Amino acid sequence: MSLSYRRRCTLAKSAIPSDTIYSDTFEKNLASRAQRLARAATAAALLTVAACTGSRQPSIAITHVSVIDVVSGTTRSDNTVIITGNRIVYAGPAARANVPGDARVLDGRGKFLIPELWDMHVHAFVWVFSDFAGPLMLANGVTGARDMGYLIDTTLRWKHDIAAGRESGPRLVVGVRVDGPVGRAQFVSHVASEVDAVRAVDTLARKKDGSVRADFVSTDAFIPRAAFFGLAKEARTLRFLFAGRVPLSVSVIEASDSGQRSVEQEDDLMRACTSRESVFRAQLADTTNRRTGDDPLQLRSQARAILSSYDPERCRLVMETLARNHTWVTPTLVAYQPYAHSFDSATRHPEWIKYVPRIVEGGWQHKVLAVPKPDSAMVQSSFSFERTGALHRAGVGLLAGTDAPRAFIYPGFSLHEELALLVRSGLTPLEALRTATYNPADYLGSLDSLGTIGVGKIADLVLLEANPLTDIRNTTRISAVIANGRVFDSAARAALLHHVVTALKRD
């Protein structure tokens, strides 16, 4: 069910950022912590799987419910949805429903049914945190996630084990990460030339037997210019998706024109909307010196320059290009909030910290101490609610994502915050809801099986106590989650959270 003790220790130690300071005592304690976490997480997973499989019936009927159509925005009242196995076999008026006699019935009166929720930007299924990310996501109605890549073999193991029912977690789409030679992250493919990039795509896309290794290539900030275009060309040749950060060596327009499927996070776009984008890229894209982009004084100076050189016409051209090329954007607005608010209590969410392993919490606390206090210019140059709304109005497809487990970004919980921030950016509750339901299915080319509620669709659903179209915060008022045909009612969801807390108390 879980990683071996030796493997878990190795992964836990290697995943600590290279600039994190930890003592010999910390290192010695890590092994015993990992061993206890492994045992506790295995027990939690066994209990969860046993509880869920025990409650699963041949059929499930959600009766007399209001079904939300995220395409039209209409609500179909007094409907019944019947599930057999992991597929919807009926969705329509309750009066016409033929509910099997042995079906498990969920009373939907006064409740609202939406399609599955996706978090389209996480790095959560690596090392120790993997054992907790899955249950936290399911408890919060997140039944799908796009992992942007780190420890690819570990993440792929989680994908396969979740699909096989051996672990509890969301449906996973897995990327393999590529960066330049000066990128700090370990377990990432580092490319310095066009030849390196072509070889990386060939190796990472498929195994020697021709089977698919990962679902896409995840690009990072320090890929050299020639290497990026080599990667893009080879990915197009193989019809293999690439998405992620726009490398500093190329412009957002160049990345979109090259076929990049999505642009992650907003700071790339903030630079793109200035008359000095090429200057900023030249300053930061030195692929021989990683420290080029780390100087706080330089970053503050650049932040002010970004704000002072904002070019609305340039921004319009960038957005038109993204819309024309069907390049999606994942703003991850929630990821910027702890930093923007100087890690205050409201953005650190102390009520959720009990769901986080101590070694992860320690890294987060180190980040608080290590990151210089931002000034208003740095905050405004990193993300923009107004810019996010403008992207949507320009016809650019938006995807809901959180960047969990970035500092004080919690798997599952933080997705609901992202939806609220998208509404703050000018989207309607329906439009925000689409970024986590219909849009991910569209992006993934899976509208035939996901993204809406209908006959033949996979039974990934969230039953809500209140209407999210009147208040997007109602996505947190969850009555039940159905993941791949498996019911997580209030008791099962509470058990997921309880087992995580119990496991962490032994840490």
Domain edges within the chain? 5-55+117-190+258-267+312-505, 59-112
CA gap 256, 262 in Å, rounded: 8
Predicted local distance difference test score (pLDDT) of residue 379: 72
Across the chain, how many H-helices and E-strands are there? 20, 16
Whole-angstrom CA distances from 121 to 190, 218, 221, 244, 453 are: 21, 11, 16, 9, 23
Predicted local distance difference test score (pLDDT) of residue 291: 52
CA gap 69, 447 in Å, rounded: 13
Report whether 57 contacts 102 (CB < 8 A): yes
Report whether 263 contacts 326 (CB < 8 A): no
Whole-angstrom CA distances from 161 to 9, 131, 415 are: 20, 12, 23
Identify the sign of the CA torsion 28, 500, 156, 241: negative
Predicted local distance difference test score (pLDDT) of residue 504: 79
Predicted local distance difference test score (pLDDT) of residue 12: 37
Find out whether the peptide bond into 350 is cis, omega within 30 degrees of 0. Answer: no
3-state secondary structure of 180: coil
- Domain 5-55+117-190+258-267+312-505 belongs to what topology? TIM Barrel (3.20.20)
Residue 374 DSSP class: P
Report whether 131 contacts 504 (CB < 8 A): no
- The reported pTM is 0.87
Predicted local distance difference test score (pLDDT) of residue 126: 79
* pLDDT tens for each residue of the chain, 507 residues long: 343 333 333 333 333 333 332 233 333 333 334 334 433 443 343 334 333 433 445 799 999 999 999 999 999 999 999 999 999 999 999 999 999 999 999 999 999 999 999 999 999 987 667 788 999 999 999 999 999 988 888 899 999 999 998 888 999 999 999 999 887 666 688 999 999 999 999 998 888 787 888 999 999 999 999 999 999 999 999 999 999 999 999 999 999 999 999 999 888 888 899 998 888 777 766 655 555 445 666 667 777 888 888 999 999 999 999 999 999 999 999 999 998 888 889 999 999 999 998 888 998 998 888 777 766 666 776 788 999 999 999 999 999 999 999 999 999 999 999 999 999 999 999 999 999 999 999 999 999 999 999 999 999 999 999 999 999 999 999 999 999 999 999 999 999 999 899 887 755
Domain 59-112 has CATH 2.30.40.10: yes
Neighbours of 404 (CB within 10 A): 28
Q: Are strands 75-84 and 87-93 parallel, antiparallel or unpaired?
A: antiparallel
CA gap 44, 185 in Å, rounded: 30
Report whether 104 contacts 59 (CB < 8 A): yes
